[in-house]
């Protein structure tokens, strides 16, 4: 699904060369379930063999599929058809391509711009706490929490975004944010490590497993937060999946027009 996070005329398939293995795998696998995407990806990859080569080397698990796509591309396509196919793929993968361009991510993604730190800081007391942010992105939540917390681990599976946060830390002499790799499915920390475990726009593919993993690394009586950013989406009610799992919520109307629900749960362990 495209969110128009990029101006497709400013990007090419070469953005794939900046992607991590998990993103390449996700994009190539999308071609198995979306025929129009497969058709365009096929011609786009055949037109740029070095991108096809990168995808196969970076994510060997999709090598066979990339070969199939390249081999099924029409050989007589003209320059316009090739350009159109590339633009289709770029537009369709905008939510991935934007991760390769963090400075535009901050400007173009509605969940980041206009957001106010108070929306996070009013959820719990961050003073002197040990915090984990899962899927930090450009560090919207991590850097806000770091103003009060003892230390924040900003966990992010995308290399370009990790490097963006590291550059910011160096430039702004931030001493209490540590950038690490990791996913919500497998959080690389011991049980009961953090006072606060937070995320935004990450939980939702598998609520049960993701929240269980977040709870595992949260100390008894610590908190799990989900603090989405701003958008223009009308929502009639909070996410029932979150309420069913014991989260309470705070609500505000976004300046962009959306209904924004933020979630909080205290983790009680026996
Ligand atoms: C929509 S962005 C949100 C970034 C940030 N949390 C925010 O709200 O500003 C989603 C982020 O989650 C990361 N991500 C994707 N899959 C993930 C996973 N399985 N576990 C943790 N993070 C993931 C992406 O690399 C991206 O940085």
Q: Alpha helix locations (H) across 175-228?
A: 207-216
pLDDT of 176: 98
Question: What pLDDT was estimated at residue 215?
Answer: 98
Share of the chain above pLDDT 90, in %: 96
How does DSSP classify residue 253?
E
Ligand 1 atom at shortest distance from the alpha carbon of 22: 16
CA 47 to ligand 1 centroid distance, Å: 30
Average pLDDT, integer, range 221-227: 98
Cα 150 to ligand 1 centre (Å): 23
Atom of ligand 1 nearest to the CA of 137: 27
d(CA 135, CA 198): 9
Q: Look at residue 213 and tell me whether its pLDDT is greater than 80.
A: yes
* Ligand 1 touching residue 86 (CB < 6 A): no
Q: From the CA of 202, how far away is ligand 1's center (Å)?
A: 5
Q: Identify any residues that bridge with 154 across adjacent strands, giving them in sequence order.
A: 133, 179
Which pLDDT value is given to residue 2? 72
- For ligand 1, atom 12, name the residue with the nearest CA: 135
**pLDDT score of 132:** 98
**Nearest CA owner, ligand 1 atom 20:** 183
Q: Which atom of ligand 1 is nearest to the CA of 199?
A: 6
Tell how far the Cα of 16 is from the centroid of ligand 1, in angstroms: 18
Q: Read off the pTM.
A: 0.96
- Which pLDDT band holds residue 270 (cuts at 50, 70, 90)? confident
Do 205 and 231 meet the contact criterion of CB atoms below 8 Å apart?
no
Question: How many other CB atoms sit within 10 Å of the CB of residue 261?
Answer: 19
Average pLDDT for 106-122: 94
For residue 8, name the pLDDT band (cuts at 50, 70, 90). Answer: confident
134 CA → ligand 1 middle, Å? 7
Cα–ligand 1 centroid distance for 190 (angstroms)? 21
What is the SS3 assignment for 268?
Answer: coil
CA 38/CA 91 separation, integer angstroms: 14
154 lines ligand 1 (CB under 6 A): no
Cα 81 to ligand 1 centroid, rounded to whole Å: 33
- The pLDDT of 204-227, averaged and rounded, is 98
Q: Would you place residue 1 in the very low, low, confident or very high pLDDT band (cuts 50, 70, 90)? A: low
The mean predicted confidence, pLDDT, of the chain is 97
The arithmetic mean of pLDDT across residues 69-96, rounded, is 97
CB of residue 145 inside a 6 A radius of ligand 1: no
Confidence (pLDDT) at 134: 98
139 lines ligand 1 (CB under 6 A): no
Give the pLDDT confidence score for residue 232 in this predicted structure.
Answer: 94
3-state class (DSSP) for residue 57: helix
Whether 112 is in the pocket of ligand 1, judged by its Cβ within 6 Å, is yes
């Amino acid at each position: 699904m495209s969110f128009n996070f990029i101006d497709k005329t400013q990007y090419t398939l070469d953005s794939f060369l900046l992607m991590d293995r998990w993103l390449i795998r996700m994009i190539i696998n999308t071609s198995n379930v979306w025929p129009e995407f497969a058709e365009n990806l096929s011609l786009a990859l055949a037109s740029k063999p070095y991108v096809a080569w990168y995808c196969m080397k970076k994510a060997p698990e999709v090598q066979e599929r990339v070969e199939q796509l390249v081999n099924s591309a029409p050989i007589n396509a003209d320059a316009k058809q090739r350009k159109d196919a590339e633009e289709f793929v770029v537009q369709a993968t905008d939510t991935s391509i934007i991760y390769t361009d963090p400075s535009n991510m901050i400007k173009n993604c509605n969940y980041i711009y206009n957001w106010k730190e108070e929306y996070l800081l009013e959820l719990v007391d961050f003073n002197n706490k040990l915090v984990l942010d899962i899927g930090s992105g450009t560090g919207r939540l991590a850097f806000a929490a770091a103003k009060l917390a003892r230390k924040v681990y900003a966990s992010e599976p995308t290399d370009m975004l990790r490097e963006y946060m590291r550059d910011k830390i160096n430039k702004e002499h931030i001493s209490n944010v540590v950038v690490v790799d990791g996913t919500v499915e497998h959080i690389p920390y011991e049980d009961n490590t953090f006072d606060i475990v937070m995320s935004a726009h990450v939980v939702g593919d598998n609520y049960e497993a993701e929240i269980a993993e977040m709870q595992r690394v949260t100390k008894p009586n610590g908190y799990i937060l989900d603090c989405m950013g701003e958008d223009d989406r009308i929502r009639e009610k909070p996410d029932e999946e979150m309420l069913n799992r014991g989260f309470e919520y705070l609500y505000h109307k976004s300046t962009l027009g959306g209904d924004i629900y933020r979630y909080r749960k205290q983790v009680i362990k026996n």
